[in-house]
Amino acid sequence: MWLQSTVWALLATAAELAHARGPFLQILNATHSVIGNDHWNVTQGFAYATKLYHKNQDLVGNAVGHYVSYSLSPTSNHPVIDILTVFPDGAASDLNWTSPTIVRRGHDFIDVSFTAIEGDFHWIIRRDLVGAYQYFVNRALPTLGEFRSLWRLDNTSFPNGHTSIKDEALPPLSDYGISTKIQDETWQRADGSYITKYDWSSFIREEKFYGVYGPDFGSWYIYPGKDEYNGDHLKQELMVHRESSTGDAVQLNMLHGTHFQSSPSDTFAVGKTWGPWLWYLNDGNKRDAAARAAREYAAWPYKWFDDAVYQSRGAVSGVLKLDDGSPASNAAIFLGDNNSNKSSLEMGSKNYYTTYADERGRFSFRDVRAGTYGLRAWSTGGRHFNVPGFYLQNDVSVVSSRYTDLGRIVWKPRYKERSEIFRVGSFDRKTIGFAHGGAPYTHGSSDLCPDNLNYTVGRSRTEDWCFAQTANGSWAVNFEMSWRESVRRANSTALLTVSLAGYSTGTSSTIFVNDAKVGNLTSGGGSTTDYNKGLQNDPGLYRSATTAGQWRQFEFELPSGSLKAGWNRLEFRVERSTRWRGFMWDAVALAWL
């Protein structure tokens, strides 16, 4: 194999000498080779690719360059132990490459494969493309955890970061040196403000292109194949950042990310592919990058990618209604693992599709890989329907080149909107509507919420509730019940639904109704279901998230007699707390069963 590839490369070199142009692989020695075309080239070493030349400039310079790495799932649920403290740099698990080989060749491209124990990383290099399509084929990745490819680039050529929601200079390394480290990759400046890479996060499925750039160069990721990411609509990831130990400009490609969720544990089939995505190099022009992204999205799934499993796709559609006949307007619709007890955010072994229903509850997916899926749907709140939980239908089969119509699907939620006593917020798995909910990613936003809070049904507005509760104190919902209602419901059970947009361990709460304890929200405790993963830690709240972390939902039944005529009081009493850790609220609602 090695000999064969060397011969190939020598032949290629000879051919290139004759033509002196075009995409090439040049093997230097047992550990180093150069790949590229007339516009750029990079030297791939045992783990890192460096010396990225474009326009006669080395765009890696003293930075680490390009590499691929993984981190295992942390097994601990300890609030302060996370992936980054277990693997500070991912360094123990940077993939090591051998056997560079041109595995395919066309009139204007070569596909160069580098082999690691875990799998093969490919660069598809075209004659006139500045950049390359890249993809990875799994062979033996362990159960993960985090898996990513990335560029760590020269910080003078790439001073700025760009995502769909943030575009500015990366914080200078000099700021880190004069600030105090307060937690995982987070520093506090003398003026009290914070520096953290997590401010550079976003909802990854909403990104069209992102990267690092400066006045002369831009390096971008354009990845239309979002079905290959783990998680659902609310999958968040870190996109770009300044590396705090070296100052490198970092551009991340989180293929299987874990920065904003509890610890997923996924195994991957041999042959599973991620990509092709496009790593695109230009002169720093964002409009050009956006135009290129539009072309890539229009061309996805890539017809030129020679992989039968990748190309085997079908379509599926349906109409989702509630059992009262009303449409599940704007419901989030997810195609994920068949018959799985994981939450949709935690799924990650296979391929995942996300969309939203329209006003009439109609939805459709195109270009879904053939297979059997579990379909889930949930409300997105607001002026649309508001129901906790999710609709589930397993055994949804998608057949290649076929269109599957699921027809009319009826969701019969246990919770009835018409029997609602009150609801604070809307069931959208997000903090939207509450004070500071959905603010830009900023570390420490939970400090803006009060320790104690009274919300009075009928008088208070949604924004009087705050997005996160992290301090000792009591947050109460006061609600009035008429004498007639209390008599009519004398024998009724009420269902309290507590829906959390996220939860970071270190803060616990006890729930009281009229001073009687009805339950708790404590790591490892509380009323749990499989998909909630108990109350395990998700790092969202202490990693700058203000919209969501990992959604969980809890139900507490209040036996008849719990509520009384006149004023009633529901309380979340926190008596054990850790700053920046605790509850991110989605909605709290009470309804008669």
Written as six digits, the tokens of 168 are 């500015």
Nearer Cβ to ligand NAG, position 12 or 331?
12
> Is 490 among the residues that bind ligand NAG (CB under 6 A)?
yes
> Is 561 among the residues that bind ligand NAG (CB under 6 A)?
no
Please, what is the minimum distance in Å from the beta carbon of residue 299 to ligand NAG?
A: 28
- Among the candidate windows 89-97, 160-168, 349-357, 418-426, which touches ligand NAG by CB under 6 A? 89-97
> Is 482 among the residues that bind ligand NAG (CB under 6 A)?
no
CA 283 to centroid of chain Cα atoms? 29
Written as six digits, the tokens of 539 are 């790092």
Give the helix/strand (H/E) hosting 122.
Answer: strand 119-126
**Residue written as token pair 């874990």:** 258
> Is 440 among the residues that bind ligand NAG (CB under 6 A)?
no
> Is 294 among the residues that bind ligand NAG (CB under 6 A)?
no
DSSP state of 462: G
Give the helix/strand (H/E) hosting 109.
Answer: strand 109-115
> Is 559 among the residues that bind ligand NAG (CB under 6 A)?
no
How many residues are given for the chain? Answer: 593
CA angle, 81 then 82 then 86, to 5°: 85
Q: Is residue 251 classed as helix, strand or coil in its secondary structure?
A: strand
- Among the candidate windows 262-270, 287-295, 430-438, 449-457, which touches ligand NAG by CB under 6 A? 449-457
Nearer Cβ to ligand NAG, position 20 or 298?
20
Nearer Cβ to ligand NAG, position 40 or 300?
40
Q: Distance between CA 194 and CA 179 in Å, rounded?
A: 9
Positions in 220-259 near ligand NAG (CB under 6 A): 246-247
> Is 529 among the residues that bind ligand NAG (CB under 6 A)?
no
Q: Which residue is nearest to ligand NAG (CB)?
A: 247
Please, what is the minimum distance in Å from the beta carbon of residue 282 to ligand NAG?
A: 16
Q: Which long-range contacts (CB under 8 A, 24 or more apart) does 187-190 make?
A: 187/244
Q: Is residue 377 classed as helix, strand or coil in its secondary structure?
A: strand
Which of 4, 143, 339, 401 binds ligand NAG (CB under 6 A)? It is 339
Which of 526, 539, 549, 582 binds ligand NAG (CB under 6 A)? It is 526
Nearer Cβ to ligand NAG, position 417 or 555?
555
Positions in 22-51 near ligand NAG (CB under 6 A): 26, 28-29, 31-32, 34, 41, 47
> Is 530 among the residues that bind ligand NAG (CB under 6 A)?
yes
CA dihedral 523, 525, 530, 533 (to 10 degrees): 0
Which of 108, 128, 168, 395 binds ligand NAG (CB under 6 A)? It is 395
Using omega within 30 degrees of 0 as the cis cutoff, is the peptide bond preceding 502 cis? no
Name the pairing type of β-strands 201-203 and 236-238: antiparallel
Q: Distance between CA 349 and CA 414 in Å, rounded?
A: 30
> Is 95 among the residues that bind ligand NAG (CB under 6 A)?
yes
Nearer Cβ to ligand NAG, position 92 or 294?
92
| Nearest one of 84, 69, 74 to 543, comparing CA atoms | 84
Written as six digits, the tokens of 92 are 């123990």
User: Residue count at the site for ligand NAG (CB under 6 A)?
Assistant: 46
Nearer Cβ to ligand NAG, position 302 or 365?
365
| Nearest one of 19, 34, 25 to 7, comparing CA atoms | 25
Positions in 501-520 near ligand NAG (CB under 6 A): 519-520
State whether the Cα torsion 137-141-145-151 is positive or negative: negative
> Is 317 among the residues that bind ligand NAG (CB under 6 A)?
no
| Nearest one of 176, 166, 227 to 200, comparing CA atoms | 166
- Among the candidate windows 285-293, 381-389, 536-544, 569-577, which touches ligand NAG by CB under 6 A? 569-577
Q: Distance between CA 147 and CA 90 in Å, rounded?
A: 10
User: Residue 31 CB: number of other CB atoms within 10 A?
Assistant: 13
Which of 85, 180, 267, 394 binds ligand NAG (CB under 6 A)? It is 394
Positions in 196-225 near ligand NAG (CB under 6 A): none
Nearer Cβ to ligand NAG, position 75 or 341?
341
Nearer Cβ to ligand NAG, position 29 or 359?
29
The number of CA neighbours under 13 Å toward the Cβ of 136 is: 27
Which of 13, 84, 86, 94 binds ligand NAG (CB under 6 A)? It is 94
Binding positions for ligand NAG, rule: CB under 6 A = 26, 28-29, 31-32, 34, 41, 47, 53, 56, 62, 92-96, 155, 172-174, 246-247, 338-339, 341, 372, 394-395, 452-454, 472, 476, 488, 490-491, 519-520, 522, 525-527, 530, 575-577
